[in-house]
Structure formats: C-alpha cells, structure tokens
Amino acid sequence: MSDNDDEKLCFYGIWARLLPLAFIACAVVLFLWLLRKFIQGPRYRKPNRIDGKVVIVTGCNTGIGKATALELARRGARIYMACRDAVRCEAARLEIIERTGNQHVYNRTLDLASLASVRQFATRFLGEEQRLDILVNNAGIMATPRKLTVDGFEQQLGVNHLGHFLLTNLLLERLKCSAPSRVVVVSSAMYLFGRIKRNDLNSERSYSSFFGAYSQSKLANVLFTRKLAELLHGTGVTVNCCHPGVVRTELVRHIKFPGFGLLHYLVQFFWKSPEDGAQTQLRLALDPALEQCSGGYYSDSLRLPVMPWASNKDTADWLWAESEKLVGLRESVKRNEMETVTVTVTSP
C-alpha cells in the first residue's frame, strides 16, 4: 500500500467518519452526566451535630425518609422512626444502627391513614419523651387509585395532609417547650397544579389521581406550612416545606411511564437518588442559618417564592378550620392531654 493510500485511509476513509462520531458521542455523554449532576442538586455539607436532640421522621423505612433518618442518626440525634409497616421499619432501624453506631433509634408504629393510630402514636411519644426538637413530616403517597382511609377521607388527602395535620398539632406543645425547634414538611412542586376544592375536598364528585387529588394534597402541605408558621410566630418553633425533586423511590410505583425498556431506564437516569432527594429537608432540619426562618418553600436547598394560590390567606384559613373539623382536633388535644398524664412508657 502506498503512502498516498495511507493518507486516504487516515483522512478520507473510515477514520474520517468514526472520529467525529466518537467525539459527538463523548460530548453527549459528558452533557448528560453534567445535566444529571445538576439535577441531583447541592448537598448539605455543614458538619454540625445534634447530639441528644429528639427527632421524629414519618415514613422512613425506605426512600428519602430513611436517608434523612440515617443522616440525623449519624449526627447524634435520638430518632423515632414513625412507620406504618413495623417489620420493614425494624429492618431499616437495625441497618441505621449498624451504619451509624447510634443505639438511640426507635421503631414506632404510625399509620397516617388512621386518625386513631395518629393519636396512639402521639400519646405514646409524649409519655416517652419530654422534648421534641425536630419533626419531619416526610411520609406520603402519590397518584394512587381512589381509595378511602379508615376515617372516610380520600387517601391522598388523608395521608399527605390530614394525618400530618393532626400529628403536628398533637405534638405542638412539646415542640414549643423544646424551642428552638423545627417542623419540616415534605411537599412537592406538583402543588403548582393543585387547587383546594372547597366544594369537593374529598374528591367525591370527580377524581384525578395525579393532577387532582395528589396535587391538591401537596398544595395543602404548602398552605398548612404557611398557616402554622403564622400561628407559631414568636414561639421559637419554625416550620418550612420543601420539594425534594424527582426521586427514585417506591412513591412512584403508581405512575405509568410512556415507552418500555431503554426509555424507561433513561428517564430514571435523571432522577435523584434517595440520598440526594433528602438534602433539602436535611438543610431545613439542621442548618443553623435557618433557625429564624419560617414559612418558606424550598427546592434544591434554595428558598423559592410560591404561586398566589399557595399564599392565599383566605384559603389557608379555610383549610385549617376545615381540617380541624375533619380530624376532630380540639377533642383530640383534650383527650391527648388527659392520656399523657397517666401513660408512662419506657423506651427500649
């Protein structure tokens, strides 16, 4: 083969086609990797510890709740894992103890779809602990087929909003006594599509699992946060909510994705890991810089403005009053106060 033939092979032959394609492929892979890193968001890296602080995390046997409980346990907190499934919670508890060396991690049953279970959990906790420093309202369900809780509420409204509404109020005095203390509410950017249906709050007339009931419950989280922050002004208790991002957890099991095979995995490639998804709520729970900040909505650790329908005071007031009636809040508070006088439980 002549020198001229070699030159043609290198510059005009197959390599002339393969090298640009390889360059383009590398550029695409780099772009996708950088995009994925951007979507993962920032991590909370301040080293502050919370030794001896008492923390409740709901729905933490898996996903971002488990990642949150793990990190808070690593920083020295006494963790109460409030989960519906006691068996799975116990497995997660033992894993957290093994990974952190923190023996003060407890398994407690809490079914947010049952107001009786919420009351029982609160009564037991108040009998066990004299303080509560951080309450993380993490548990939730998404886009489920229409189903009612044991108390007759549409389950996404019941679990995502009403259960946590009752739980927080039952523990409010303990939070005040422990001030400075914090409430962290896990909401979602899907609140943007939500509207509080005053004439059909329970989705009896019409039901849409994702853009309807779920989005309404996430909007309720934001309105609850803002109203509670207003009520707690000056008490030393702060309350903030956050959007964790699109995270690879069991929460999305009812979502149907277009396409199959490779497309499905390509979509999930850009989702956050549970550890990345937990970072914003960890900042809200831990960051000393946020000790005086309340009533905010955060995403990727940044405070963002909310839409007008999420900051409407009249809607927030109506939802609070309606939620009080639905969960029987006044009666629950009185009953809880009477029961905690006589209940004494020793932590394992």
What CATH number has the domain bearing residue 312? 3.40.50.720
pLDDT in tens, 191-234: 999 999 999 999 999 999 999 999 999 999 999 999 999 999 99
d(CA 64, CA 244): 8
pLDDT in tens, 91-141: 999 999 999 999 999 999 999 999 999 999 999 999 999 999 999 999 999
Confirm whether 238 is domain-assigned.
yes
Confirm whether 42 is domain-assigned.
no
Give the total number of structural domains in the chain: 1
Confirm whether 4 is domain-assigned.
no
pLDDT at 335: 61
Q: Which of 80, 106, 191, 214 is catalytic?
A: 214
CB under 8 Å to 239, separation ≥6 — which residues?
182, 183, 184, 185, 225, 228, 229, 232, 294, 295
Matching residue, tokens 């422990």 = 178
CA angle (274, 181, 135) in 5-degree steps: 40
Q: Which residue has the higher pLDDT, 142 or 345?
A: 142
Compute the Cα dihedral for 115, 113, 348, 47 and give only its sign.
Answer: negative
Q: What region does 169 belong to: left with phi over 0, alpha with psi -120 to 50, or beta?
A: alpha
pLDDT at 188: 96
Q: Which one, of 25, 29, 1, lies nearest residue 13 by Cα? A: 1
pLDDT in tens, 258-308: 544 554 555 566 678 899 999 999 999 999 999 999 999 999 999 999 999
Q: Please answer whether residues 169 and 333 qualify as being in contact, where contact means their C-beta atoms are separated by less than 8 angstroms.
A: yes
Q: pTM for the complete prediction?
A: 0.85
Confirm whether 95 is domain-assigned.
yes
pLDDT at 12: 59
Q: Roughly what angle, to the nearest 10 degrees, separates helices 115-128 and 329-342?
A: 40
d(CA 99, CA 105): 12
d(CA 138, CA 116): 19
Residue 10 predicted with pLDDT over 80: no
Confirm whether 25 is domain-assigned.
no
CA distances from 252 to 92, 159, 279, 306 (A): 20, 16, 19, 24
Q: Please answer whether residues 160 and 190 qualify as being in contact, where contact means their C-beta atoms are separated by less than 8 angstroms.
A: no
Confirm whether 56 is domain-assigned.
yes
d(CA 224, CA 92): 29
Q: Where are the alpha helices (DSSP H) in 41-107?
A: 63-74, 86-100
pLDDT in tens, 145-200: 999 999 999 999 999 999 999 999 999 999 999 999 999 999 999 999 999 999 99
- pLDDT tier, 346 (very low <50, low <70, confident <90, very high otherwise): very low
d(CA 126, CA 6): 83
Q: Please answer whether residues 128 and 347 qualify as being in contact, where contact means their C-beta atoms are separated by less than 8 angstroms.
A: yes
- pLDDT tier, 24 (very low <50, low <70, confident <90, very high otherwise): confident
Four-CA torsion 99, 288, 242, 136, nearest 10 degrees: 50
Confirm whether 12 is domain-assigned.
no
pLDDT at 26: 79
> Which one of 2-6, 201-205, 326-330 scores highest in mean pLDDT?
201-205
Confirm whether 346 is domain-assigned.
no
265 catalytically annotated: no
Q: Which residue has the higher pLDDT, 66 or 29?
A: 66
Question: Which range of residues forms the domain containing residue 217?
Answer: 50-332
